[in-house]
Structure 1
Amino acid sequence: MPVDSPRLLLVAHGSRDPRFAATARRVTASVASAMPGVDVELAYLDLNEPTIGEAIERSGDCVVVPLLFAEGFHSKIDLPAIIAEHSLPGRRVVQTPVIGSHPLARALADRLAEAGLCDGDGVLLCAVGSSDAGADRHVRHRAIELSTLLHRPVEVVFATKLGSGEHELLSAVRRLKATGARRIALSPYFLSAGLLTERVDTALDRLCPDALVAGPLGAHPDVVSAVTDLYADAAGFGPASDGRADELVPEGLRSC
């Protein structure tokens, strides 16, 4: 990268769960390692420090990359308002699309393989859930990509919309069982483990005690590639990744 490269500000949502901040720091370290010569800083929308507004005020030109998986209220309304409020005259602040705008189905498949996904497992993709219908549609599109990659049905549940008596979760599990799934495998479309992932884990454990639970995406190479590509595009350097995220060849699946 050129010596005058703008600072990269990674902005995460924030959480009271310490695991979230620890994961966000690991992602930041992986991105910094992949981008020598670029000043990389982590900031938060809420609940953790520093806030993105504080980080913008002490930065020169910078590129803001949201560590979010779908375009919703935070990326469309909240973050642009913060940038407008805290940007100083003469400084260029560019917000990129969310990291979920890049291919991440392979990353989800890798986490499932690491957890021990078998041929007969039915996959349940879990995301936060949003008041923005477009954000939820994005998650469903990602489920279709994962289904195509794994050659099996993938159902979607939202951690904030499990329904009364967890009806939505129960219905999704029943649909997977109806397709012949011998076991349910949970695929968290989350950056980090936390209270919301635990809510789904606990509910699923009551329904399917033998369920397989994959890890969150964290600092997966495709997450890092999404950040570096978004930064490079915004800074005018062109795509930076090696294209790995576009490979649709899952590895490590077990015939069990």
Structure 2
Amino acid sequence: MPSQLSLVPRRRPAPPALVVVAHGSRDPRALRTVRALLDRVRARRPGLPVHLGHIELNEPLLTDTLAGLDTEDVVLVPLLLGRGYHIKRDIPEMAAATHPHARVAGALGPHPLLIDTLVARLAEAGWPSRTTDPQRHETAIVLAAAGSRDPDNAADTDRTAHLLSARLGVPVVPAYASTAEPAVPNAIADLTARGYTRVAVASYFTAPGRFATECARVAPWVVSAPLGAHDAMADLILHRYEGCLETRADTNAA
């Protein structure tokens, strides 16, 4: 006869908390967009503790979010598209100062799920579902990104441009809103001078803000919205989260 203790259901341990790390923006649309994206993450993983922390400009700040957690088992997923200072220094240092056991995932990009989102946003903005060969030869895309002095960031953006070009079958030129070259207006002008009469701008930003707005103003044709609250973005956040857990499991097994 089973003992009474064996009849008591065992409570499953809570999964590690997910903290999504956004940069922060003075544009109120950015915070609304990030919160909507986190709602999609929660809908995909009911029961997963999902939190938000910002590097700067918005509350809650990452350090405050980490300080308020009552668990040591935490995974940080930066809402950043490429490697750079925030990924390599800021976020790890902020985590080490307030939650030293936290694991930090890498940048979201490059990844095919980002390409899915870029293509969807371009389609929403009017990118044609079908093009003739003559039209394709006149068409190009500027992948408008934030920019960084870190060469790894440029390499990540270049890779995303290559993946997007392969998906859509037209040239894709990475360009930047600040810091790096070429600037978005210069990339548009260069493509126009080379004979491309239909130059689209793909907004490679996670949320609305100053950079996305400035790039949209100079777009001569189709311009997509930032990546924002899209299902593929939610899937990518969870993919980076799970990747951190798998890395920890492999390390423990070794």
TM > 0.5 fold call: yes
The aligned residue for residue 107 of structure 2 is: 98
After TM superposition, give the deviation of residue 102 of structure 1 in Å: 2.9
Contact 1:3/1:37 (CA < 8 Å) preserved in 2? no
TM-score normalised by L of structure 1: 0.82
Matches within 5 A, 1:68-217: 68-87=80-99, 92-103=101-112, 104-118=114-128, 119=131, 120=135, 121-161=139-179, 168-177=183-192, 180-202=195-217, 204-205=218-219, 208=220, 211-217=221-227
Alpha-carbon distance in structure 1 between the residues aligned to 2:61 and 2:34? 14
When residues 170 and 237 of structure 1 are mapped into structure 2, their CA distance, relative to the original with a 3 A threshold, is: closer
Alpha-carbon distance in structure 2 between the residues aligned to 1:117 and 1:143? 16
Specify the code of the residue in structure 2 equivalent to 1:95: V
After TM superposition, give the deviation of residue 54 of structure 1 in Å: 1.1
Q: Which has the larger radius of gyration?
A: 2
The aligned residue for residue 58 of structure 1 is: 68
Contact 1:10/1:66 (CA < 8 Å) preserved in 2? yes
Query: What do residues 110-142 of structure 1 show as CA deviations (whole Å, max 9, x unaligned)?
Result: 111111113333211100000111101211111
Query: What do residues 56-110 of structure 1 show as CA deviations (whole Å, max 9, x unaligned)?
Result: 112112111000000110010001000110016xxx3111112224321121111
**Which stretch shows the higher mean deviation, 71-80 or 167-176?**
167-176
Alpha-carbon distance in structure 2 between the residues aligned to 1:237 and 1:140? 26
Paired residue total: 226
* Aligned partner of residue 184 in structure 1, secondary structure: strand
Contact 2:148/2:180 (CA < 8 Å) preserved in 1? no
The aligned residue for residue 6 of structure 1 is: 16
Q: Which runs of 4+ in 1 moved over 4 A?
A: none
Alpha-carbon distance in structure 1 between the residues aligned to 2:21 and 2:127? 32
The aligned residue for residue 225 of structure 1 is: 235
Query: How large is the Cα RMSD of the aligned pairs?
Result: 2.1
Contact 2:147/2:180 (CA < 8 Å) preserved in 1? no
* Aligned partner of residue 156 in structure 1, secondary structure: strand
Alpha-carbon distance in structure 1 between the residues aligned to 2:54 and 2:63? 9
Specify the code of the residue in structure 1 equivalent to 2:154: D
Alpha-carbon distance in structure 1 between the residues aligned to 2:43 and 2:21? 17
Identity of matched residues, % = 32
The aligned residue for residue 21 of structure 1 is: 31
Alpha-carbon distance in structure 1 between the residues aligned to 2:49 and 2:17? 5
After TM superposition, give the deviation of residue 3 of structure 1 in Å: 4.1
> What residue ranges of structure 2 are gaps of 5+ in the alignment?
1-11, 249-254
Alpha-carbon distance in structure 1 between the residues aligned to 2:183 and 2:225? 22
After TM superposition, give the deviation of residue 236 of structure 1 in Å: 3.8
Contact 1:123/1:186 (CA < 8 Å) preserved in 2? yes
TM-score normalised by L of structure 2: 0.82
After TM superposition, give the deviation of residue 233 of structure 1 in Å: 2.3
Contact 1:162/1:169 (CA < 8 Å) preserved in 2? no
After TM superposition, give the deviation of residue 19 of structure 1 in Å: 0.7
